[in-house]
Chains A and B, each alone.
Chain A
Amino acid sequence: MNKLRLGFFKYSCCMGCSYFFAYVQKHVPEVLASFDFVFIKLLSRKGIPEGPFDIALVEGTITEAWQVDELKMIREHSKKLFAIGSCAVIGGIPAIKATSPELEVEKRVYKNLSSIHSIKPHAVDAYVKVDGYIRGCPPVERDLYEALTSVLTGRKPDFPQYSVCIECKLKGNICVLIADDMPCMGPVTNAGCGALCPSMNRACYSCFGPMKQANAPGLAKKFKAMGISRDDIIRKFTEFGADTIEFRKAVEMVYED
């Protein structure tokens, strides 16, 4: 069998997804046997960024114009393109920048802005069509293998489409939102982590980002009723989800209230 050509691209992020991918736990031999690593900076010199690729994985938030150009080039040369990690999937932590006027944030970091060329941070699908989302910060192995094996076998990938609450219930956790009054983001956050934070006695902070059709304003109302301040509620919905429609609705509701 011909190996499938794989490209891995990094934009503005911690490179944790590349690192996570490079260290594929117990599946190293299987992955190496199935893919030809055409381009992955963290692993190999002399990669070919032009492809073509059977599968391209893209990590990181888009924050500079050259990234948009390159991303479009990759899309054209790839059969399947997956966004991997919260930065690429929803804008992630770098998108917090968009909650304040751009120059204000930049000026706090650099005195001379003439060589800084940042644009408003966005997820990958703001610019190109994406074939699948490997969510999480960091993602989990299950979703990564789902993406890889779906391409290998030519089927549609199947990712969790429900909230962290479901995973929490399956684990038999006591609800930290109801029982402990912790401002837990679990009800509106996409599953995948295995309800990690509630299992560690703390509130979910939504590092997997919003679940589709989440009722974020509803949860914001609940937080308000718990006596949480307006600013604290806004911060909850803008830590990982500042660039998402779902969470923006909650922020807007809190502002209007």
Chain B
Amino acid sequence: MKIDINYIARVEGESSVKLEIEEGKLKELRLNIWEPPRFFEGFLVGRKFDEVPDIVARICGICPVSHMTTAIRAMENAFGLTPSPEVKRIRKILALSQILSSHLAHLYILALPDFFRLNSVVEMLPHFEKDIKRFLRLKEAANSITALFGGRALHPVSMVVGGFTKVPSKADTEKAAWELESLHGDALETLKMASELKCPALENHAEFVALKGKGEYAINGGMISSTKGLNIKEHEYASYFIEDEVPYSNAKRTILKDRGSLMAGALSRINLGFDNLLPDAKKASEDLGFTGGGNPFLNNLAQAVEIVHALQECAILLRGLSLKSVKNYFADFKVREGAGSALTEAPRGMLYHYYEIDGRGVITKANIVTPTAHNFLNLEESLKKLVTENIDKPEEELILMCEMLVRAYDPCFSCSVH
């Protein structure tokens, strides 16, 4: 029997799953990422360093802040520029606001309908009005934080190499913090809702990889750590991770050298950084008996825990800003020939950017590895396992389970091909 899920709906970007079952056994399974390539790494060559953040933002419509921040940090590393603590704080606020809006969209409109055997959020609306309204409240608050600092929620404009071109007023950030604090109950409700979703059992012995910080839940930088003992610095990335082309996919596949597949994303961050969560998120999660795990379906729950954490951390950071004059948020620097790389935790997992720059500030080489490229092999392996363990299920059921698993990884196929 051949099954061809010719497009996976409710994920970002284009992919299909093809599988063949013969005499009750899975013969072959392929995750075909047919998202058309746009060749960012190709056409970035010849562009000027200061255009790069605006250009790479367009790799992804959901995580532009991550691509911009990673590119900016890579170039600052190349120029030997260390941003001020306040600039770092604002970058983290932007990243957290984007994690919030990405996770919220994933949980409520991409993942949720499956659990009620519905095709879309449109079909959910009549029965789940309360949940959808909660989603809209949270999502609007998250988007307004991104827009407050970035000018707009999608493809923000204030983020540049060196810092920010404009910062909001203290009164505006206080108001934003207050708004977030008032939504704490909504975040906890979201976590409760996610904890009640019944997920299929599925073991996954992959190496979970995420950035890890000292005493903070790492987002923009940190040590590259794994559940199997990896503990390396950002600039050592290229000696440990290998990117390879796959004949049936436009996305490249990244593995750990001599180790194999890995999983990145919210579940990895929880598995590695649970102790660094803020006390409220930690306690709420522990009360549900969740402190991490191997089943990739738990990624949904991990995202909900991060929603509780991110909402609170974002408010704390907003309250801590001094916001003096805009001059304090932009550091002068000298363009010089060199190379720089950086990693951040995008909503869907670890994101890597690398640039080589000539003396005039023109890019001569670019490399970008996205969370979904990191997850590609592990997702395929998990799909094989899921199908093997549920091979007797009716075809419709098996198709839905495969789709649910793909969605649980929260892939971004647009990012993965770029």
Contact = CB atoms under 8 A, between A and B. Distances in A.
A181 to B, nearest CB: 15
A45 B6 CA distance: 11
Nearest to A111: B245
A191 B47 CA distance: 25
Contacts of A116: 37, 250
Contacts of B43: 96-97, 99-100, 105
Given A22-B109, A37-B122, A44-B120, A201 B166 contact: yes
B59 A110 contact: no
Contact of B151 (A10, A118, A196): A196
Contacts of B152: 138, 193, 196
A64 B35 CA distance: 10
Interface in A154-208: 193, 196-197, 199-202, 205, 207
B247 interface: yes
Nearest to B252: A110
Contact of B36 (A28, A63, A193, A205): A63
A41 interface: yes
B247 to A, nearest CB: 6
Interface size class of A (residues with CB under 8 A): 35 or more
Interface stretch (B155-163, B172-180, B220-228): B155-163
B9 A64 contact: no
B414 interface: yes
Contacts of B39: 94, 97, 105-106, 108-109, 118
A12 interface: yes
B105 A22 contact: yes
B60 interface: yes
B159 to A, nearest CB: 10
B54 A205 contact: yes
B136 interface: yes
A43 B62 CA distance: 14
Interface in A75-103: 92-94, 96-97, 99-100
Interface in A22-58: 22-23, 25, 28, 32, 37, 41-47
B139 A23 contact: yes
A202 B165 contact: yes
A158 B75 CA distance: 42
A67 interface: yes
Interface string B121-148: 1100100000010001001100100000
A106 B42 contact: yes
Contacts of A46: 9, 119
B42 A97 contact: yes
A250 interface: no
Contact of A45 (B9, B61, B105, B143): B9
A107 to B, nearest CB: 8
A235 interface: yes
A18 B12 CA distance: 9
Nearest to B149: A200
Contacts of A132: none
Interface of B: 7, 9-14, 36-39, 41-43, 45-48, 51, 54-55, 58-62, 64, 105, 109-110, 113, 119-122, 125, 132, 136, 139-140, 143, 151-152, 154-155, 157-158, 160, 165-166, 245, 247-248, 250, 326, 362, 403, 414
Given A42-B12, A46-B9, A232-B48, 16 more contacts: A12-B38, A13-B38, A13-B58, A13-B61, A14-B414, A15-B12, A16-B62, A18-B61, A37-B120, A96-B43, A97-B43, A100-B43, A107-B42, A110-B37, A200-B158, A235-B51
